[in-house]
Amino acid sequence: MTRTPGSRFGLLQHRDFRLLWIGESASSLGSAVTTVALPLVAVTVLGASAFEVSLLSAAAWLPWLLIGLPAGAWIDRLPRRRVMLAADWVSLTAFVSVPLAAVAGRLTVGQLLAVALVAGVAKVFFATAYRAYLPSLVAGHDLLEANAKLQGSEQVANLMGPGLAGLFAQLLSALGGLVVDAVTFAVSALCLSRIRHAEPVPERSRRRLLPEIREGARTVAHDPLLRGNTLYGCVANLALTGYQSLLVVFLVGEIGVSPGVTGVLIAATSLGGVVGAAVARRMATRFGSARATLLGKAGLAPVGLLIPLADQGVGLVVFVMAGVVIVAGIVAGNVVFSGFVQAYVPDALMGRVSTSVQVVNFGAIPLGAVLAGALAEAFGVRAALWAMLAVFALSGLILLASPLRRLRDLPTGRLPGPETTEPGVRVSSSSSPC
């Protein structure tokens, strides 16, 4: 698929990408609503304890650790659009089951945990399949724009989702919020089903699953650019999850901000994601794709050290500005690097490489929250924030130790396919500094 040069709407003028964009945006909105709607049902309908509510969050992330690697191998064997459609219908069915069970008087915390787990499994398959599907739908030179639009709408969904969940709960009850949540997955499925693009049929593999999983993990481990970004993502996620887990306690307990204003301040920092997606292409054009990635992920990270200085008045402005900057940097870097990965990794390896990266990155999330909580208990919330944001700032050193710091632009070549991939994969000659 190509786009008309100079078009005001770019890829959005193309029917199939537009449908994918709407579908993925709706699915992202549904996932963002779920993070608030499901705990609200647990608390308001079932009177669940704090521990039971925390288990819901754990159940949603657990599938990445349990099935992330085999899911990537399965997706490389299956039509990606069908996988996304199946994931949407599974999510819809799971969420509709909650109000139905409540009406019948049979809703339990156990069912909510099962729903969170099933939706988490569906998210693993949907997220991996859409990343692998995009390069077959969009021409290589349009991947940067495609990722900017997709990640931009995802950030808007993350910004709107929690607020909409609260609004739906207020107007329709917490159970009604889950019905609306289910509708977003129906919209996604409808859009995906109308895409006309003929997806290349994956070659039928006769190999066993474990060697294929190893092949994806080995590709990441032996390529210096993929390896460096994955290790960076692991450390950065650990630090950012710890920082985010303490934000409410910090703003309300330490600074004395009201709960309502706290929600507004946290939502304001999320605007950085929208800004990052919007400026990613300009950064890559002006500075080079490798330098834009490095600037976004490593160069802007130290600004986060201003956050623990926050206090009443002007200090809150500093908090918001610093939060916007670091979120914008992360998203801009992710947009640029995601486009590179989708053009760099062979289609037959895309699912396995994607999940190999995500298992390492997302596996750090629970640890980050636990570590931050332990530091807050031992040394205080502000000191724990200093520690988490210092780790985040230092995580950029991992990227500086990779070949990224020697490049202006990321490689335009492609890794060998799975038939020729060797344990000692190296970055292609196109990785030379420009």
pLDDT per residue over 222-242, tens digit each? 889 999 999 999 999 889 878
pLDDT per residue over 303-355, tens digit each? 999 999 888 888 889 999 999 999 899 989 988 898 888 888 887 787 788 88
According to the model, what pLDDT value does residue 421 have?
39
Say what the pTM is.
Answer: 0.70
Residue 82 token pair: 């069908």
According to the model, what pLDDT value does residue 362 have?
81
Contact 336, 283 (CB under 8 A): yes
More confident residue, 288 or 44: 288
Q: d(Cα 181, Cα 184) in Å, to the nearest integer?
A: 5
According to the model, what pLDDT value does residue 132 have?
80
Residue 380 token pair: 């205080």
According to the model, what pLDDT value does residue 429 have?
28
For residues 254-278, average pLDDT: 78
Q: Does this chain's domain 12-198 share its CATH topology with 213-426?
A: yes
Q: d(Cα 256, Cα 17) in Å, to the nearest integer?
A: 46
pLDDT per residue over 406-431, tens digit each? 999 998 877 766 554 333 333 332 33
For residues 258-279, average pLDDT: 77
Closest CA to 352 of 216, 228, 237, 246: 216
C-alpha R_g of the chain: 21
* 6-35: burial string, b at 16+ Cβ within 10 Å, e else: eeeebbeebebbbbbbbbbbbbbbbbbbbb
What contacts 352, CB < 8 A, 6 or more positions away?
A: 69, 72, 73, 76, 212, 213, 215, 216, 217, 219
What fold is seen in the domain 12-198? Growth Hormone; Chain: A; (1.20.1250)
According to the model, what pLDDT value does residue 9 have?
62
Where do the structural domains in the chain lie, given as residue ranges? 12-198, 213-426
pLDDT per residue over 348-381, tens digit each? 787 788 888 888 888 777 778 778 878 888 888 8
Residue 114 φ then ψ, to 5°? -65, -40
pLDDT per residue over 112-170, tens digit each? 999 989 998 998 899 888 878 888 888 777 877 887 788 777 777 766 766 666 666 66
According to the model, what pLDDT value does residue 259 have?
58
> Would you say domain 213-426 falls under CATH 1.20.1250.20?
yes
Mean pLDDT: which of 86-95, 120-129, 136-145, 258-267 is highest?
A: 86-95
- Of the candidate ranges 14-23, 131-140, 275-284, the one whose mean pLDDT is the lowest: 131-140
According to the model, what pLDDT value does residue 91 have?
93
Whole-number average pLDDT of the chain: 81
At residue 107, what is the residue type?
A: L
Q: d(Cα 383, Cα 165) in Å, to the nearest integer?
A: 32
For residues 371-393, average pLDDT: 88
Q: d(Cα 301, Cα 295) in Å, to the nearest integer?
A: 9
pLDDT per residue over 182-220, tens digit each? 888 999 999 999 998 877 666 665 667 777 788 888 889
Q: Alpha helices of 173-208 — where are they, by DSSP H? A: 174-193
